[in-house]
Structure 1
Amino acid sequence: MKLKLLVLGILMCILDAQSQEYFPKNDGVKSPNSNYTIFTNANIYTDAGTVIEKGMFAIREGKITAVGKSINIPSNSTVINLEGKHVYPSFIDLYSNFGISKPKRAENGSQPQYDAGREGYYWNDHIRPETDAVSHFSFDAKEAEKLQKAGFGVVNTHVQDGILRGTGILVALTPEASEGDRILNERSAQYLSFDKSVQSRQSYPTSIMGAMALIRQAYLDADWYAKGNADNTDLALEALNRNKNLTQIFVTDNLLNELRADKLGDEFGVQYVIVGSGMEYQRIDKIKASGATYIIPLKFPSAFDVEDPYLATRLSLQEMREWNQAPANLKVLSENNVPFTLTTHSIDAEKDFRSNLIKAIDFGLSKETALAALTSVPARTIGMQGKLGTIKEGAWANFIITSGDYFDKETTIYENWVQGEQKILENMDVTNITGTYDLKIDGKTYELNISGEPSKPKAEVKLGDSRIGSKLSFENNWMNLLLSSPDTTKTEFIRLTANIPEMTTTITGKAILPNGNQSAFTATRTKDSEDKKKQEKDKQVHEIVPVTFPNIAYGFNEKPEQQNVLFKNATVWTSEAEGVLENTDVLVRNGQIARIGKDLNAGGARVIDATGKHLTAGIVDEHSHIAASDINEAGHNSSAEVSMEDALDPTDINIYRNLAGGVTTIQLLHGSANPIGGKSAILKLKWGESAEDLIFEEAAPFIKFALGENVKQANWNSNVRFPQTRMGVEQVFTDYFSRARAYETLKNSGDDFRKDLEMETIVEILNGERFVSSHSYIQSEINMLMKVAEQFDFNINTFTHILEGYKVADKMKEHGVGASTFSDWWAYKYEVNDAIPYNAAIMNEVGLTVAINSDDSEMSRRLNQEAAKTMKYGGMSEEEAWKMVTINPAKLLHIDEYVGSIKEGKHADLVLWNEHPLSIYAIPEKTMIEGVLYFDKEQDAKMREEIKKERNMLIGQMLKAKNDGVKTQPVKVREEQRVHCDLLEKVQ
C-alpha cells in the first residue's frame, strides 16, 4: 500500500502545474502561493555557451517562466537584485546512491550457481533488473545539503548492487517537498555492472568473463521469454524486457572494463552510458570509437611520498604516470569530442568536488565544457533536455547563485534553488573584503592581507618585515580587528572597528590605541588577496608526460609500423624439411615471408645484417596465462560459456617480456577450476595494441578441459560444488555431452528452443568445430577422457601438462591426440610425483606431436632453454628440440599454416638471436610479428634510459608537491603475482 501511494504521488508530479489539486489539506488556508520571484541584474548562464549579462529571469511554482535582458514584472512579484552575482543551472549527477541504504551482505559462504535463493526470479541471483530504487528510497537531508553546497540540484540514484541492478530514480534535492514532487522520474535508467550482488551467496560468476557471459545469457533469455516460450513466470526477465527502452548505464571501475562493456553493448545493439574510471585518456581512440557518453568520477590519484629512496624504487612508473596524467583526462575527452558528464561518486562532494574540477580546468579543460558536463549533457543523457540543466522558460527552477565565476577558487556559492525552493548556503549580503591593503594607524603604515572565504575572512598583518599578531572577526558587515601593539612587549593592543556595507577600495573606521585614545584608520586596497595570488601561482604550466602504448614502462611513444626487411647472411632455423640453412637471406614484405635464399635483392627493404646470428620462427607457447585479467571462472563445474577473449589485458608487462624471450604467439588458456573450462584466446603478442588487436584472426577455436586435483577442489577446502571425486569428474563430462546432444537435436528440429551459450559451445566440441586442450597429469584420467570422447565420437586435441604421458603414449597415438608438456617440472603436488624429464622425448619417439609449454610468465620467456633440456633428457636433436617450441605447438593449435616455421607465404613472425637459440646465452635481438618489430634490443636500451629520466622527473614533481603542502599517499610495495592454472582471485 505504501508503494502504491508513493507511485501515485509521483504520477501527480508529472501533471501540469495548473492542474486541479484534489488532496485536502489540514492547514486552514488551501490557496497555493502563485506569486512570481524576479531576479534582476545577474550574469545568467542560460547554458554552457550563453551568458546574459545584467539579465533577468522569473520563477513561479517551481518553474522558470521568463528569462532575458529585460522581462515583464507582474504585479504579484518579489524582486531580488543580484547585482554583481552569477547564476548557473544547478548540476546533475547521473551516478549516485543518494537516499539508498547500503544493501546488507549475505552470510559468509558460497553456493553453486544453480542454487538460486529467490523463487519466481531468474536462476542467477546477481541478475536483479526487477529492483526499483523508488521502493528503497528515503530522502537524506544531510547528504542533500552536501550536494547542494557543491552546486547539485538533481541526482540519478539507484541500488548499487548486482550485475543487472534494476532501475534508478531521478531526484530533485528539495528537502521540503514530498517524495512525489521531488522524484522527477521513477524509472530513469537501468543500471548494469560486472559486480555481483552482496545480498546473494551464489558463487557464479567469479570472473569478468563469467559476468559478461551471464549478461549475454540474460539478454538471450529475456528475448526468448518475451516471445512467450517459457512455461513459468520469471519476474526478473519481465523486468528486463520492461527496462530495455530506458537509458542503460553500465558501471565500470577500470579502462579495460569500460571497453568490455562497450563490446558487450555492440553485440546486442545497446549503446551504454558508461561510468568510467578517469583513465580514458590512455586509449582515447577506443573510447571515442565506442560512441558512448561517459560518466566520469572527479577523483584524481594522490601524489606518493617518495622521500625514501628505497620505497621510491618500488613505485611503478604506471602509478607515477597516472598521478601526472589523470588530471588532464577531461581535457583529452573534450578535445576528442567524447561526450561526458561528471559524478561525485567516490569523493566528498562538499570538500573535494569543486577543487578537483578547478584542477581539471587548470590542466586544460575549458569552463564551457565543464559547465556542459554538469548541466546540458547529463540532462540530454537522461532525456530531460529543456527541463533540467538550463535556465530557460519551462525548465525547472534549479539554479545556483554565486559571488562570481563558479570555477574561481575564491567564488562563494550563496544559494542553491531546486524546484523553486531556496537553500541559503552563505549570506549573499556579506561584503567581500579579501585583498591586500595599506593600513594607516597613528602615523604608521601596515600591510594588511585579508584572505579566505568572504564570510570567514582571516587576516595577516606586517609592519615592515615584522609580523604583527592579529585577530579578525567579520559579522553583519562589521569588521573588528585586534592588533598587538608594535611599540611594546606588554599585553597591549590596537582595536579597529568599521562598518563595510559594500565592496570598496578604501575602508575607514575607528581605532582605539593602547593608551585608550581614539583615532581613525584607513585601509586602502592595493591588490588581490594572497589566496588569489596563490591560485594564480597554482595555475602554472603542468609538465605532463606523454601517453605511451600501453601507458606503462616500455610502452611505445608511437606504435611501431610494419616494415619490409631483408635479413642478410643469417643461420636460418626453418623448422621445416629444409632444416637449418647457413648464410641465408630472408625477405619480409607486407607482413609475410616473401623469399628465402642467398644474395637476395632488398628491393627497397630495410637491410639487417644477420651475419653470425640465428633467425628462427617466433616461439609458440601452447599453454600460457599472461595478458589476462582473470584466469578462472570457478563458479560451477562447467564454464563453457565464458571466453578468455573477454578477459584480455593488453597492458600486461609479461607480453613485452615474452617478446624479449622470442615468444610471438600464445594460447591463453582458462584455468583448471572446473572440468569444462572456458574458451581459449589464441593471441599474437602485439605489444601496444588493444585487446581485440591481439587476437589471432585465423586461429581455430579451442576450449580448456581439466582433470585432477584442482577440478574436484582438493586444494580449495570447498564442499559445495560437484564433483568432489575423480569419478564425479567423468560423470560431469558424460552428463554435459549427453545434454548437448539433446540440445542439438532440439535446435535442429525446427521447434522453439532457448539458446544456451554453454550448450552451444559443447555442441561445437562434439561436432569437431572447437578443439579441446585438457589439463592432465595421471594416466588413469588421461585414459578416461579419451574413452569419454570416443563414446561421443570426437577426439581430444591436446593433453597439456601430461606428465604421465610417457605411460600412455601408445594409446594417445591411437586416439590421435597431441601433447604439450613441461620439460622437467616435478613433485610440486602429489599427482605429479611420477613425472620424469624424459617424458617429452618418449612421447616424441612414439610419434606424437609434442610441444614444450610454460604455464608460467617467468618460464615463458625462456622456452628456448626449456626446449634445449630435451636434448639432455632424451637425446633429442637440435632441430627436433627446437620444433617443440615452434612448429609443433603451431600444429597442435592448427595454426601451422601461418606460423611456427620459416616458409615462404607464412606470417613474418621472426626472432633474430645473437647466437645459437638453444644456448643459455642466447638473447633475442629483434622480435617481429607480421613484419612489425615489437622488440628491439637497441630500442630497449634507449627505453631504459628514458624510463630512468622520466622516473626522476616524476619523483621530483612529487617531492615538490609535498613541499607545497599537497597531501601524499604512502608507497605500497606490491609483490609481482605469479599466475598459473589454479589462480582463483583476480590477476593484479
Structure 2
Amino acid sequence: MPSTMTDLEGAFMNRVFNTFGFLSLTCVATLFAQSPPPVAMRPAQVRRDLIEHATVVVKPGERIEDGAVLVVDGWIMAVGKSGAVIAPAGTNIIDAKGLTLYPGLIDAGLMIDSAAAARAAAAEDATHYWNDKVTPQVRVATMATLASGVRKEMRDMGFTVASVNPNSGIFRGESAVVLLANDDQKVEQLMPNAGQNISFAHIGDEGPDESRYPTALMGTMAVIRQGLLDAQWLSQSNAVWKAHPQGNDAPKASAALTALEPAIQGMSVVIFDCNNEQDVLRAAGLAKEFGLKARVIGSGSEFRRLNEVVATHLPIVATFDFPKTPDVSDPRKDQSVSLRDLETWALAPRNVKQLLDAGADVSVGTVRLKNKSDFPARARRALQSGLSEDELLSCLTTRPAKQLGLSNVVGTIEVGRLANMVLLDGPLFGEKTHVVATMVAGDKVNVYEPVLFGFKGPCTLKSDSIELNGTFDPETKVISFETLPPVAAAAVDAKVADANAADAKPAAAVDAKVADANAADAKPAAAVDAKVADANAADAKPAAAVADAAAKPFEPKKYAAEHVDFDLDRVGFTLPGEALASEGVLRCTAIRIGDRVDGVAQTRDGKSIMFTLTKREVAKPVDAKVADAKAADAQPVDAKVADAKAADAQPVDAKVADAKAADAQPVDAKVAATTLEKKTEDPLAFIPAVMPLGEYGFEKAPVAQTVLVKNATIWTSGPAGTLKNADLLVVNGKVQAVGTNLANIPADALVIDATNKHVTPGLIDCHSHTGIEGGVNEGTNNDTAECRIGDCIDPDAIGWYRELAGGLTAANQLHGSANPIGGQNSVVKLKWSKSANDFRIEDAIPGIKFALGENVTRPRGRYPNTRMGVEALLRDSFREAREYATKHSDYAALTDEQRAITMAPRRDLQLECLAEILAGKRLIHCHSYRQDEILMLLRLAEEFNFRIGTFQHVLEGYKVADLIAKHGAGASTFSDWWAYKMEVMDAVPFNGAMMHDVGVVVSFNSDSDEMARRMNMEAAKAMKYGDCTSVEALKFVTLNPAKQLRIDKRVGSLEVGKDGDFVIWSGDPLSSFSVADSTWIEGACYFDRANERVMRERDLKLRARLLELAVNVGEKDGSLKTIEPPKVEPAKDVKPAKVPTTLLARMLDVRREALVDQVRRGRDPDTMGPGDCGCGGSIEGWKILLEEVGK
C-alpha cells in the first residue's frame, strides 16, 4: 500500500483483498498497470465519493431513507443514514436528495454478434471441428471490446454488468462477464471464462450438404450429443496418452474439443439458448446425460410447461420479449391464429411472475429484444401483470449475481461490494422515471440531467403594453405564449382564481364547469379559462358581452420560443417580434428571482423591452374534478358530462371514459381498453389453467381409474375373438378381466354401461409424423442415423388430440424419407396433456427409418443419385458399422489393467446405431414402393444377417409377398393409395389383403395427421378390397402394428395383463357411421366425446374474448388501437393471364388449382399427407401457392 494512504483506507483495502483475493486487485489495480504515465498533475491514487440524502435500496426489500453510501476506489466502504457515514478529507460529495439509489442492474444474457469470430475459428484447418457450427473455441474475452454504443445503451437503462454471450452457431463459444464502463480502458472482465454457450438452432446455411447440416432440430441434438462425446473422448485419450504413450497414437489436437473440456468436467457452466419451453427440458436432459452444470436462456414461453420447467432446477435467464399482438382486425386473418397463440400472447407478460411463484431460479435480461431500449417498457408490462418491484429488482440484481457466481461482488449496495449503482428520479422503470446517473466500479456517468430551474407550468408574461398567457417547461425546453381574449387581463386572472376555489362554489357551478370544459376539449386553454371565468362572475361583465363573446369564438395567436438554453437560474431564447409588438426576432434573456422570472428582450434595432413572467393558476383538469366529485359523494360520473358530450359532439376525455367503463376499478394496463362482461381483480382470470395451453387443454390431467365397461360387444383382437354382451375390467392401468358376468368387481370401480356399443383395443399407427418438432427430415446428409425422433417429441401438437378422437392410442413416429438412412424412430402413446417423457413407450424395441426410390435419389449434388447407388451406400455403411462394432467389442474384452493403458475407440453415434441393427437390437422401417428395391434390401439383410422390421408403404409388396413372409418382415401399407407418382403406378388396393393371405403381418398406416384420425375406416377397406373378415381387418390397426413394433406383449389386444388401452365406439368400429365415444390409455380417459363438446364451447367463448382483447389493445402501451377501415384501391386494368404452353407449366397450373381446391375444402397446410412421408412434397406446393398469394 502507498505510504500516503490513511489507516482507514488501508484497512478497507486489506478487507477487500482478503474477501475477494485476486479479483479485487484486478478491478482496483488494473488501471495503474495499463495507464500511461501522467503528463500533468498526478491524479489522486484513491478516489472517494459520498452519495448522500438518497433513498438507498440496499437490496430487494431493504431500503434506507435519507441514506448515504461512501465509495472508495470503486468499492463500497460504508452504507448508512446521511450524517452517520463520515467521509474522509478530499471526498467528492454528491447530493442525491429526491433520488433513489439502486444496485446496478445485471444482464446475464447479453447477446453479441460472433459470426465473424465463428467463421474464423471454423477456417482453422488444424484445430477446427468437422461441423462449422461447432466453434466452442470462440472466446468473448479475446474479441474486440464490447462496443461503446452498446455499453451506453445498457447504462442508460441502469445496467452496469453483463454476461456477454456469443450468438453464432450451435456450440457458440465462451462467455465473459464484463463491466459496462464508459471508458474503453475500464471495461474490466469480472469473469473471462463465464461458460460455454450451446444453441438449439437448426437453420443450415446455403452451400454443400456438409456445411448445411443440421437443418432440423433432431440434427442439432445429434451434433450437440456427438460434440460432447467427442470432447469426453479427447480428454480421456489425452490422459491415457500422457501417462502411457507407448502403443498409442497421439490424439489429434482440436481447439474446439479442448475448449469444451472444462464444461464436460463440470468446472464451467454450459449456457443453453432455448427457443421454447421444450428446449429447456431438452437442455435438462443433456445436462443429466453428460453431468453438465447448466443454465438456460429462456424464450418467454416457460409458463406453458411451468411445472416441468421448474422441476429441472436449472437457473433461467428470462426474457421480456413478448409476442406481438396478433393481427385479427380482419375476420379472415383471425382464422390463422390459434387459441394457443392468443393465450400465449395474453399470458406471456406473466411468465417471470409465474416462474418466481413456482420457485424457479430466474433472472431477467435484454435477450431476444430486437431493440434493447424497449426493455423498460417491457418491464412495465411485467409490473402491470403482477410482478412486484422487489421481484423485478431481484431478477436484475441479486438473482443474476448468484447465477453468475458473483454474489459477493455485485448485486447489492453493501460494504465490500463493487460500487455498481444507479440513481433514479422515481421508482424502478416507472413511466416517468429517468436514469439520472450510473456508477460502474466507482466511475459515475451522468445519463439524465434534469433542469432544476425552479419555475415551471402555466404562466403570464407582462410588459408595458402586452400581456400573454404562456407555458414554461424547463425539462422539455418548451416555452410558448399566446394572446388573451379581448378582456382585461387582471379581471380574467381574478375570475380564474375565483373559479378554482371550487370548494366555495355550489355543486351546480362545478357541474357547469365540467360540462363547459368537456364541450371545449378542442379549444385552447385560454378560451376555456375565459368561459369558466365568465360563467362564475356574471356581475363583472354584462350578459350581452358574454353572449357576444360566445357568438364569436376567439382564436389566439401563438408564439413558440426557439433556441432555448437553460443555465442554472438563467434562460435564453428567441421570440417572434410580433409577440411583444415589435418586428424581426427578439433575443431574450431572463433570470429567476423567487417565484417570478424577470427578463429583457433585445429588438433588432437595439432597443430593450422589459418583461416579467409570473405563475398563472388554471382551473383543475376535468378528470380531477370528476374524480373529486366521485370521491366526495360516491356518485357515478355526472350526467351533465354525458349531456355536454351529446350536445357538442365532443369526445369525452379518454380517462373519464375508461373510468366510467371500468367502474373506476384498477385494471391491468394491457387490458384496460377491453370491455369485459365481468369485472374481476385479475383481468385475465377468464383464461383457464389447462395443459397443454390452447385448444382442448385439460384442466385436470387424466388419471388411471378402476373401470368396468359392461354389456358391450368387445373386439379383443386376441384368441377370444369378439364377445357379445361382455364386460371389460381395467385395474391399475392393466386389463384384469374380459368376459361375461365378471365377479369380484372393486367397489370403487367406475361402471360404464356400453349397451349397444362396441369396445376395441386402442388403435395403433405404424407410420406417423405427428408431433415431431423442428422438422421431420434431417435431409442434408445421405446417412443421418445419429438423429433421434425421441429428442423432438412435441406433446402439445394438436394432432394428438384429434387422433385420440378417432380412437388412436399409440403411434410409430418416423423420420422422413429424404435420405437412404434416416433417423431413429420413436414409439409413443398419445397421452395428451402429459410430458414428452410420458409419451414414450420405453420398452419398445428401437427402430430406424430407411428409404428407397425417388425420394432419396432426387436431391441434386448429393450421392447417391441412382437406385444402384443407394444399394452401394447401404452396403458400405453396414461394412463400416461391422468394423466399428468389432473395435468396440475388442476394447470391451480387455482387462481393466489393459484398458487403463489403451485409448478407447471413439464413440460414433451414426455407426453405433447401424451396429445395433447388425446386432439385432434395432429394427429397420423402410420406405419402399417397387419390387426390385424390396428384393434388394431383403438380400442385403440376408447378406449382413439382420432382420427388417417393416417395409413401409410397400405398394408393390403383393408381387414379392412370399419373400417378405419368408424373411419375417412386416408390411405397413396404405389401404387404397396408388398412382400419385411414377414409382407407384403398379399399386393396387388389394395389396394389403394379398400380402396378409400369404402370411405377412400387415398393418395399414396413415403417414398423415389427417388420416390418423380415422384408422378404423382404413381397416374397413381390407374388407372391401380382399374380403378379409372384420376381425382380421381390425387387426390391421391393432394387433398387427403392435407385432411390427414388438410391443404386442403390452398392447394391440384386450387380454388379461396387457395395458388397459381401449376405445368405446358408438357402433360397429368398421362402420363409417360409428365414432369413438371415449378413448382410454392405461385406464385413464384421454378423450370423451361429451367432455369434448364442453371444452369446444369453452374454447370458442375464450377465443372470442381473446380476439376482442387483441382487436382493442394497442401493441406497445396497452392503449386503444384504432382499427382503420381497409383502404379500397382503385380498380386496375387486369391483363388476361397467359395460357400455359409447355407441359411443365400446365402441370404446375393443375397443381396450383388442386391446392386452391384443398384450401376451399379446409385442409390444414401444416399437416402431412399420405405419400409425403415427411418429405414435404405437398408442403412445397403450399409454399409456392402462398408465395403467389403474397405477390
TM-score norm. by structure 2 comes to 0.74
SS of equivalent to 1:820 = strand
2:631 aligns with none
Residue 90 of structure 1 deviates from its aligned partner by: 1.6
Cα distance, 1:482–1:350 mapped onto 2, change above 3 Å: farther
Residue 22 of structure 1 deviates from its aligned partner by: 5.1
Residue 562 of structure 1 deviates from its aligned partner by: 2.0
Query: Match for 1:573 among 715, 734, 739?
Result: 715
Tell me if structure 1 keeps the 8 A contact 2:691–2:699.
yes
1:802 aligns with 954
| 2:161 aligned with 1:183 | no
Cα distance, 1:984–1:253 mapped onto 2, change above 3 Å: farther
| 2:882 aligned with 1:741 | yes
| 2:693 aligned with 1:551 | yes
Cα distance, 1:215–1:584 mapped onto 2, change above 3 Å: same
Cα distance, 1:399–1:825 mapped onto 2, change above 3 Å: same
Once the two structures are superposed, residues 150-195 of structure 1 have per-residue CA deviations (whole angstroms, 9 ceiling, x without a partner) of: 111122223311111111222222232416x533332222111122
Once the two structures are superposed, residues 840-860 of structure 1 have per-residue CA deviations (whole angstroms, 9 ceiling, x without a partner) of: 011001011110011111111
Residue 60 of structure 1 deviates from its aligned partner by: 2.9
Cα distance, 1:452–1:590 mapped onto 2, change above 3 Å: farther
Query: Match for 1:700 among 836, 840, 845?
Result: 845
Shifted more, 867-876 versus 65-74: the winner is 65-74
Distance 1:850 1:14 in 2: 75
- Identity over aligned pairs, percent: 35
1:32 aligns with 43
| 2:762 aligned with 1:607 | no
1:685 aligns with 830
TM alignment of 1:93-108, pairs within 5 A:
93-98=107-112, 100=113, 102-103=115-116
Cα distance, 1:643–1:12 mapped onto 2, change above 3 Å: closer
2:415 aligns with 393
- May I ask how many residue pairs the two structures share in their alignment? 953
| 2:227 aligned with 1:218 | yes
Residue 49 of structure 1 deviates from its aligned partner by: 2.8
Query: Match for 2:73 among 45, 54, 61?
Result: 61
Distance 2:790 2:912 in 1: 17
Residue 25 of structure 1 deviates from its aligned partner by: 2.6
Shifted more, 585-594 versus 954-963: the winner is 954-963
Once the two structures are superposed, residues 576-604 of structure 1 have per-residue CA deviations (whole angstroms, 9 ceiling, x without a partner) of: 22222111121222212222222445633
SS of equivalent to 2:1078 = strand
Which protein is richer in strand relative to its size?
1
Which protein is richer in helix relative to its size?
2
Query: Match for 2:733 among 561, 582, 591?
Result: 591
Once the two structures are superposed, residues 19-68 of structure 1 have per-residue CA deviations (whole angstroms, 9 ceiling, x without a partner) of: 89456735413733324111111111122232122111122333323222
Cα distance, 1:200–1:134 mapped onto 2, change above 3 Å: farther
Distance 2:1123 2:164 in 1: 32
Cα distance, 1:974–1:198 mapped onto 2, change above 3 Å: farther
Cα distance, 1:20–1:646 mapped onto 2, change above 3 Å: closer
1:205 aligns with 214
Distance 2:705 2:161 in 1: 55
Cα distance, 1:828–1:366 mapped onto 2, change above 3 Å: same
Tell me if structure 2 keeps the 8 A contact 1:623–1:669.
yes
Distance 1:862 1:266 in 2: 39
| 2:376 aligned with 1:354 | yes
Letter in 2 for 1:739: E
Residue 952 of structure 1 deviates from its aligned partner by: 1.3
| 2:958 aligned with 1:947 | no
1:79 aligns with 93
Distance 1:553 1:790 in 2: 49
SS of equivalent to 1:787 = helix
Letter in 1 for 2:813: L
Once the two structures are superposed, residues 634-662 of structure 1 have per-residue CA deviations (whole angstroms, 9 ceiling, x without a partner) of: 23222222211101011111000100111
Cα distance, 1:796–1:272 mapped onto 2, change above 3 Å: same
SS of equivalent to 1:227 = helix
Cα distance, 1:654–1:970 mapped onto 2, change above 3 Å: farther
2:705 aligns with 563
Residue 471 of structure 1 deviates from its aligned partner by: 6.3
Letter in 2 for 1:162: G
Distance 1:511 1:348 in 2: 48
SS of equivalent to 1:184 = strand
Residue 958 of structure 1 deviates from its aligned partner by: 2.1
Cα distance, 1:926–1:24 mapped onto 2, change above 3 Å: closer
Tell me if structure 2 keeps the 8 A contact 1:62–1:396.
yes
Distance 1:66 1:970 in 2: 62
Letter in 2 for 1:702: G
Cα distance, 1:865–1:147 mapped onto 2, change above 3 Å: same
Residue 508 of structure 1 deviates from its aligned partner by: 5.6
Cα distance, 1:865–1:380 mapped onto 2, change above 3 Å: same
Letter in 2 for 1:732: L
Shifted more, 225-234 versus 692-701: the winner is 225-234
SS of equivalent to 2:823 = strand
Distance 1:478 1:974 in 2: 72
Once the two structures are superposed, residues 80-100 of structure 1 have per-residue CA deviations (whole angstroms, 9 ceiling, x without a partner) of: 1111110112212122234x5
SS of equivalent to 1:15 = helix
SS of equivalent to 1:834 = coil
Tell me if structure 2 keeps the 8 A contact 1:510–1:521.
no
Residue 542 of structure 1 deviates from its aligned partner by: 4.7
Letter in 2 for 1:793: N
Shifted more, 552-561 versus 339-348: the winner is 339-348
| 2:483 aligned with 1:328 | no
TM alignment of 1:280-359, pairs within 5 A:
280-347=302-369, 351-359=373-381
Distance 1:371 1:526 in 2: 36
SS of equivalent to 1:918 = coil
Query: Match for 1:134 among 141, 164, 170?
Result: 141
Shifted more, 702-711 versus 926-935: the winner is 702-711
Bigger relative contact order, structure 1 or 2, given CA contacts below 8 A and separation 6+?
A: 1
TM alignment of 1:398-797, pairs within 5 A:
398-428=420-450, 430=452, 461=525, 464=528, 475-476=566-567, 520-523=614-617, 539=669, 541-544=681-684, 545-600=687-742, 601=745, 603-629=747-773, 630-712=775-857, 714=858, 716=859, 718-719=860-861, 721-749=862-890, 750=894, 752-797=904-949
Tell me if structure 1 keeps the 8 A contact 2:234–2:251.
no
SS of equivalent to 2:116 = coil
Tell me if structure 2 keeps the 8 A contact 1:439–1:524.
no
Residue 454 of structure 1 deviates from its aligned partner by: 7.0
Letter in 2 for 1:233: A
Tell me if structure 2 keeps the 8 A contact 1:448–1:461.
no
Tell me if structure 2 keeps the 8 A contact 1:430–1:454.
no
Distance 2:455 2:968 in 1: 89
Query: Match for 2:300 among 269, 275, 278?
Result: 278
Tell me if structure 1 keeps the 8 A contact 2:844–2:1046.
yes
Tell me if structure 1 keeps the 8 A contact 2:277–2:301.
yes
Once the two structures are superposed, residues 793-836 of structure 1 have per-residue CA deviations (whole angstroms, 9 ceiling, x without a partner) of: 22112111111110111111111111110011112221111111
Residue 278 of structure 1 deviates from its aligned partner by: 0.6
Residue 983 of structure 1 deviates from its aligned partner by: 2.9
Letter in 2 for 1:686: K
Once the two structures are superposed, residues 331-377 of structure 1 have per-residue CA deviations (whole angstroms, 9 ceiling, x without a partner) of: 10110111111121232556411111111011111211211111122
List alignment gaps of at least 5 residues for structure 1: 1-10, 108-114, 485-490
Tell me if structure 2 keeps the 8 A contact 1:403–1:414.
yes
List alignment gaps of at least 5 residues for structure 2: 1-21, 239-249, 482-523, 532-554, 577-582, 601-608, 625-652, 660-665, 673-680, 1127-1161, 1184-1191
Distance 2:434 2:312 in 1: 38
1:3 aligns with none
TM alignment of 1:816-895, pairs within 5 A:
816-895=968-1047
Letter in 1 for 2:427: D
Distance 1:18 1:765 in 2: 63
Residue 211 of structure 1 deviates from its aligned partner by: 1.4
Shifted more, 208-217 versus 422-431: the winner is 422-431
SS of equivalent to 1:274 = strand
Distance 1:862 1:105 in 2: 49
SS of equivalent to 1:762 = helix
Distance 1:498 1:674 in 2: 81
Distance 1:777 1:269 in 2: 44
Letter in 1 for 2:256: A
Tell me if structure 2 keeps the 8 A contact 1:130–1:167.
yes
Once the two structures are superposed, residues 882-928 of structure 1 have per-residue CA deviations (whole angstroms, 9 ceiling, x without a partner) of: 11011111111111111111222211111111111111111111111
2:387 aligns with 365
Cα distance, 1:481–1:521 mapped onto 2, change above 3 Å: farther
SS of equivalent to 2:172 = strand
Residue 226 of structure 1 deviates from its aligned partner by: 1.2
